[in-house]
Chain A
Amino acid sequence: MSYRSNLEKILSEGRFVVTAEIGPPKGSDAKKIRDKAEIVRGSANAFNITDNQTAVVRMSSLAGCVILLQMDLEPIMQMTCRDRNRIGLQSDVLGAAALGVRNILCLTGDHQSFGNHPAAKGVFDVDSIQLLQIIKNMRDAGVFQSGDPLLAERPSVFLGAAANPYADPFEIQVDLLRKKIDAGAEFIQTQSVYNVEKFARWMDDVQSQGLDKKVHILAGITPLKSVRMTERMKFHVPGTDVPDVVYQRMKNASDPAKEGYTIALETIRELKILPGIHGIHITALFWEEIIPALVKDAGLFHQI
């Protein structure tokens, strides 16, 4: 069996996977991304490079991915539908594949009003589900969205998507997951988990439909670094669910960063034993240096 990426290989072999997010810099210095990557080298199997996350302009995901490839690290290229139409997206899929990118995570993208260019025109020509289908068809059927054939090599990529058990309506989230799988998703990275109980309820629904057998689900972890960050996550970031008990723990802590780390560790331990979970996806916002310790203390280190 030949695999499109190492990530696909490890997941297919039934091994537990760790992925970690690296945010590109607000500038053209490649060293910034290399420095971050060196910190997390060896702590994850593959590394997500965000695509102008929260609609803030940063170095492109494709460029970030190529920098990782030059370092012998495996990137997961995040692709949003906010800034490119189907022509640009398909073109970048071809370019990324040509440069060695083997994993693509398809996202609709945060609305431009949240970012640093709220006057920008959002593209949203297609959505994440359509993007998955488009890339799958380019890869498997050798056709572009228009039906026009690809003429020189198909992009051999492993396709991922996001899932959010905390968005409303709760019931529709499993339907959306099924739709993403049907469209082409082979792995899923979820929204950051703070409410394990609700996450487990979602996983029950996912399993009852057998969806965990059709896709590799990686549960999201974002360590809380401060009370301020906890409050931002709890009250301002749409689609996140920070339970009161977590908020209280952070508020009562003498060292909130340490408490946040402990909470993340406990959460990983709970998620690890949940049936149907195939890996952990760590997004340490402005706190990448914590990832190696977290992975080691959570007993994930030997997995890599």
Chain B
Amino acid sequence: MIITKQKNLEEILRVLGNGPVFLIGCSECATLCHTGGKDEIGAMKEALEKRKIPVSGCIILDPACHLNNNKRMLKEYSKEIDRSDKILVFACGNGVQTVAELFAEKEILTGTDTLFLGEISRGNEFDKRCMLCGECLLDIFGGFCPVTRCPKSMLNGPCGGSSGGKCEISSEMECVWDRIYQQLKNKGKLQVIDVIQKPKDWSKAVEMKRRV
């Protein structure tokens, strides 16, 4: 899931200036991480109207990253959208751009910062798991990704900063290599660590398009 964080209200108000504005949320990721679901869009509408910023309408796209589906869903809201020069989107960076693609004449504003691709670990807790590098190495590392979860993306074992299962960057961050080591040990596969992993092929990470 794409994890987002809502920008703080002052920042949103500063870019927004005066309304009217049309609000867009997303039914998928932004709903699950409580940044652009029904509840959050409703709360935002209320907060803006309290500050005398007119909201001409709102919609939760299903999901915001689906170009053709967006076209279909937004058609029903053309009147409300026409009344606003600005569209404020609460979705991931992808969702915002898919919306922007449809409204060349409008000012598209983003209400969120997109943080990472991660899991819902608990109800309100999210952890980074994948950096979309284009060449998955999880098989080698027992299902834990050092490319993403090690701040140095180390492929040949932990650095000298691993201590008590924690990363040197922050005591709140686990050392993924500690997890990998335990996992390989439990599975009797520690010989994997002896293999010198070659430099990674980052050319896969520059892909910009895929056709099926």
Contact = CB atoms under 8 A, between A and B. Distances in A.
Q: Which of B199, B200, B201, B202 has the most chain A CB atoms inside 10 A of its CB?
A: B202
A119 B135 CA distance: 11
B38 to A, nearest CB: 39
Interface in B154-207: 199-203, 205-206
A113 interface: yes
Interface in A118-132: 118-122
A119 B201 CA distance: 4
Contact of B199 (A112, A119, A122): A119
B206 A119 contact: no
Contacts of B199: 119-120
Q: Which of B199, B201, B203 has the most chain A CB atoms inside 10 A of its CB?
A: B203
Contacts of A122: 202, 206
Interface residues of B, number: 7
B200 to A, nearest CB: 7
Interface string A116-158: 0011111000000000000000000000000000000000000
Contacts of B200: 119, 121
Q: Which of A113, A118, A121 has the most chain B CB atoms inside 10 A of its CB?
A: A121
Contacts of A121: 200, 202, 205
A113 B201 contact: no
Interface in A78-125: 112-113, 118-122
A119 B205 CA distance: 9
Contacts of B206: 113, 122
B8 to A, nearest CB: 24
Nearest to A111: B206
Q: Which of A113, A118, A119, A120 has the most chain B CB atoms inside 10 A of its CB?
A: A119
A113 B203 CA distance: 7
Contacts of A119: 199-203
A142 B205 CA distance: 37
B57 to A, nearest CB: 36
Nearest to B198: A119
A4 to B, nearest CB: 37
A70 to B, nearest CB: 34
Contacts of B201: 119
B133 to A, nearest CB: 9
10 contacts: A112-B202, A113-B206, A118-B203, A119-B199, A119-B201, A119-B202, A120-B202, A121-B202, A122-B202, A122-B206
Q: Which 4 A-B pairs have the closest CB atoms?
A: A121-B202, A119-B201, A118-B203, A119-B203
Given A112-B202, A120-B199, 15 more contacts: A112-B203, A113-B203, A113-B206, A118-B203, A119-B199, A119-B200, A119-B201, A119-B202, A119-B203, A120-B202, A121-B200, A121-B202, A121-B205, A122-B202, A122-B206
